[in-house]
Structure formats: structure tokens, C-alpha cells
Structure 1
């Protein structure tokens, strides 16, 4: 794998292989990505900073895994270590069972990446020329997958700009070109760093649909790093959460969401006058109040035990409830809670 540093050239992972480069072997059912005991320290002596410490996880073939963490958690160092852009001090990385440090060209033969903050495309080439170029350096005749290119141009709303140089496009359009260039290749392991950055809501939804389709169609393995929790929750099978250089959670999205009691409760009643609401505020953590006609809806942050205290209080005030709803955790709530616990 060659990472191109020249400002006149895009920074991309994978790609500089020739058409004769061997495909990754089946490797007896090994994971698409296996990271074991990764450690990286920058600097030395008292100024040394440990960016990642004993990071281990695997990604099965055909799955989409989200890599989450606050700024400085070690996500970028982990991704760059997997891609060979940073040499780890300890640990191993295998792609399709191939050690990336021992056999980098074989390991990275079918890996591609879109890195946030990098020049992922040639700005002097047109959109279509970029797709063809990156297919070619990946060892694929672009004419043989022209239909794939045209579909991506259409689905990502790039068709009208296909013959324009990338440098003339808006930031959001450039982002979509980077995505199209990666998804248009024959790579079967893809890293997407902040893929929806700069995209409007409609474009983000389109990307998610297209990514799900491609994953299913090509058995694509994807690692996504993003601050957009809606994207992660929507497209990922599993989430790896990092904090202060370590993995603090590694589980399916479903298990993470179901691993917590209800985050709170919403109660609706015509009897929730200002006096009752004021008393509620004194006794409970009221997070939201909404009035509609003669009805008032109050959201209270509490667990299942606190819910019984809440209903007992409301009964003591002769409040008749019209509706009770649980406020469940979303992935952002889980992420915040887990990182907060780790910091205590």
C-alpha cells in the first residue's frame, strides 16, 4: 500500500497495486480484519503520549462496524495503524489472515479508504476520470465495471457533474466523489472516515441506502468512523467504542441499546398544572415540558425504580395520567454514558 503525500496528488489508502497483484486468499474463514494488542506511543520520556493501548477487535467479512470515540480517543491512530500509515509499537494487524507488516502488498491488495481531511481524489481530473483512474490502479479494467460507475454517479447525484473537474465542485460534492471513487473499486475491505461530513440530510440518506445495497451485493466489509450517530446506528451491525486509547465497548448495536434500562419516562395529563410541575422539578430531573391544549407532557429522566416513585407522587397529587411512554436510549446516549463512566 502506498500513501501519497504530494499535495498535487490525493491521499488514498490501497490502490498502487498492479493488475497482477494477487487477491487476498480465503484464509480458512479468518476475519476480514483482525487487530490484536495494538499499541502506539508518540514521543519519548516525560513528553510521551500513548495514543492507543492494547487495542484488539475483529471485523467479520460482509459486516459494517462503527468505530466511535471522543476526540483524542485513538480512533485515527488505530485506523492509520491498520492501513499501514502508522507503524505500531506493539501488536498485529491481519487482513484476510495476512499480516500487514509482513506482506503489505498482499494484505492491502483489496483495501481502500476515504480519510477525513485528506485529498482523496485528483482535483484536476473530472469525476468520471477519477472513478476510472482508481479502478485502474486497483487492477480493474474500468470498462468492465462501467455500469457500476454509472449507477454510483446516478445514485449519489453526481451524473450532471460527471465531466466536470473535481476542483470546481462544492465541498459536499467533493465528498461524494471521494465516496464514489472508493465504492466504485473492487476493494472488499473499505474504511470510511466521516463519510457524511459536508453532506445534506438527503445526500446522507442516499449514501446510507447505497452503502447498504453495495454491502449486501458484494459482501463488502466496512469500517466507519463518524460523529454522526444516526449514520452509525443506521448502517452498522456492530460498534467498537474507544476512549483514552482503549476499547471500552465492542458489541452489536442492538445489544448496546438494550443493555440499559429506559432512559426516562414521558407522562401526559390534563392535571399537570404549574404547581404540580414545579413540585415535579423539585423532586425529579425534569428534562422536557410540552403543553398542547389542555394537556401537558412532562419528560422525567429516571430508571425503572424511579418510575414507581414518580407514579406514586402523581397519585398523591390526584393526577390522572392519559399516557405513559418510555424514553429509550439511542446510540448517542449509550456512547455518552459509557465514555462518562470510563472517566469517573
Structure 2
């Protein structure tokens, strides 16, 4: 697949004002974004994800490494590179609150060199698609957060760039608006065929929309893999063990020591251990814990797993993830 963004060895450091301590936020990060794909760029708070996003958008300059967009080095040919990407950053910072909905669309189109007449039909389409037509003459500062977020994404689409970066598109939205926005994004993915980068803590968004995911933890890339492949792999390792009796404190301690991400439910006469095995032969270690005290195993079943569980297991594992 053709590469539209290339990140090579990007690093970013900060110096604390008081202590002068040097903090490495991003450490030798490299990855590609391919034309037409939907990429999830993820990471826990403080992992270096936000700094990476800002470097891609040209808001921060990498201390080492390079970032190319459509072949242009963002540090050397910044304006040419940024012509190919538009971004919706967390906090709706790309809207003018004292302009109306329609005025925002027309203003930012003008910033890209497009006249009101040139974008007239597209503006009408976006107002309808994002259900903003009834609000077109209202000031942005009077809109709900959900309406503001929808408008911000509409503005990004109107720019007609090859790449759209959405930073936390559903953050702080109620369930109804979050669902509506996910449905709109699905339509955009299907119909627009643009390259989209989504940074989000809303894992259903990632699971439903993204083809591939990059997870950054402690400043480095720990995962660069297809979403479906990750789900399938972790699904084969997830087990639910139903027991005929409670386990002892000693067994519980051994269980958590050997399998830190395991859980044990002991209520309503149900005794169930949920566990994810990194290696298939670890099933014998698990059984030995129950065998040591003669605990009856009633059933062992594979369990379904969602992307949020995958993400947490990778991040808490605190090691670089590799496909088998």
C-alpha cells in the first residue's frame, strides 16, 4: 500500500522548569500510515501519544528523526506538508466560537483558498449529514459539546485534505451523541475513502472503525498491527474456568502472581476464574494451581474479548508486543 505519512525515528524531550530534569516523551518512534486506511493511534496518559500527534500536525518539532506527509518533510517544507492533513484536536480548538455554524464552515474553507461559492454544495451536504442544518445560524459558543464536535469534524472534512486526524472525537459526549458520531464516522470511512487517523480512549470507536492500530507506551511503539488480528490472537488466549468450590487465599495469591491480569469471581455460589494466557502451555500452570488443593474444575471455556481488554492487557503487560 502507498504510504501517505512516514514517521522515522521521531523523538521529543522536555526540560522541567524547576528541576531542569530532561524527560523523554517520545523515543525513536517509527511507523507508516497508508493511503485510504483508518489507523488507531493509541496510548495511556503520559505515554507520548499526544506529543506524537502534535509532531504530525506540525505543532511540535521533533528533536530527532523525521516526519513526511505526502513526501514532504514537515520540518523543511511545513506548509506544503500541512496542505495534505487537517486535524480535529481535543477541546474544539479549531472553531471560532463567535461565528455561526455556517460561518465557521465558510471561514475555514476560505483559509484553504476556497470561495463560498465553491463549497456551497458541500456545506449543504455536511450540514445535513451532521444534522446541523437547524443550527446553521447559531453561534458556536451556544452549542452543546456534541454539536461543537460534529461541526469541528465537518470543518476538517470540508478542507478536502487527504489525511484527517481526529483526536478524541467522542470525549465528553453523552451516549446518544457518541453513538450518532460513530455512525457518521462509519459513513465517512465507507464513502469518503480518505486516510483517517483516530486517537481515542473510546475503544468501541477503535474496534468499529480502525483497520490497524499503533499503541505507544512509555514513549515507544509497542504494537503496530491489524485490529482483527489482535482480537483473534487474544481471543484464543482468553479462558473462563468454572470451579466447583471457592479457591483458598494461597491459591488466589499464586493465581495473581502467575497471571497478573486474571480475575476471580466468588458470588451467588459461582466460582469463576477469568484469565488470559500469554503462551498456550501456561494452561498446565493454571491447572496445577487448582490441582494443588484438589479444587474441582467443572468447565474450561474460551471467552470473547473486546478491544478495550486487548488494549489494557498490552499496556499493563509493560513489554513490546509481537505477533506470533
TM-score, normalising length from structure 2?
0.81
Once the two structures are TM-superposed, the CA of residue 111 in structure 1 deviates from its matched residue by: 1.4
Contact 1:38–1:91 (Cα < 8 Å) also in 2:
yes
Which residue does the alignment assign to 2:132? 158
Partner in structure 2 of residue 265 of structure 1: 240
The 3 A distance-change label for structure 1 pair 300 and 105 is closer
C-alpha separation between the residues in 2 aligned to 1:212 and 1:83? 23
Residue 337 of structure 1: aligned partner: 313
Q: What SS does structure 2 have at the residue aligned with 1:42?
A: strand
Q: Is the 8 A contact 1:30 1:96 kept in 2?
A: no
Helix, strand or coil for the counterpart of 1:84? Answer: coil
Q: 2:3 aligns with which of 24, 27, 31?
A: 31
CA spacing shift, 1:131–1:325, aligned 2, 3 Å:
farther
Stretches of structure 2 that go unaligned for 5 or more consecutive residues are 256-261
> What's the CA shift string for 1:156-207, capped at 9, x where partnerless?
3322212100011122222222122112321221111100112222322222
Q: Which residue of 2 aligns with 1:278?
A: 246
RMSD: 3.0
- The equivalent of 1:173 in structure 2 is 147
Task: Kindly indicate whether the alpha-carbon contact (under 8 Å) linking 1:237 and 1:252 is maintained by their aligned counterparts in 2.
Answer: yes
On the 8 A contact 1:175/1:197 being kept in 2, the answer is: no
Shift of 1:340: 2.1
Match of 2:211 among 233, 237, 261: 237
When structure 1 is superposed on structure 2, of 52-61 and 173-182 the one drifting more is: 173-182
Pairing 1:112–2:86 present: yes
| Pair 262,128 (structure 1): closer, same or farther in 2 beyond 3 Å | same
**Inter-partner Cα distance in structure 2 for 1:337 and 1:302:** 9
Matches within 5 A, 1:223-234: 223-234=197-208
Following superposition, the deviation at residue 36 of structure 1 comes to 0.4
TM-score (norm 1): 0.77
Aligned twin of 2:283: 306
Q: Structure 1: which 5+ runs fail to align?
A: 1-28
Deviation at 1:289, TM superposition (A): 6.0
What's the CA shift for 1:320?
6.9
1:72-118 per-position Cα deviation (integer Å, ceiling 9, x unaligned): 11111111111111111111111111111221221111311111135
**Contact 1:262 1:329 survives alignment (8 Å):** no
| Structure 2 match to 1:326 | 302
- Three-state SS of the structure 2 residue aligned to 1:191 is strand
Residues matched between the structures, number: 301
Check 1:183–1:297 CA distance in 2 against 1; reply closer, same or farther (3 A cut). Answer: farther
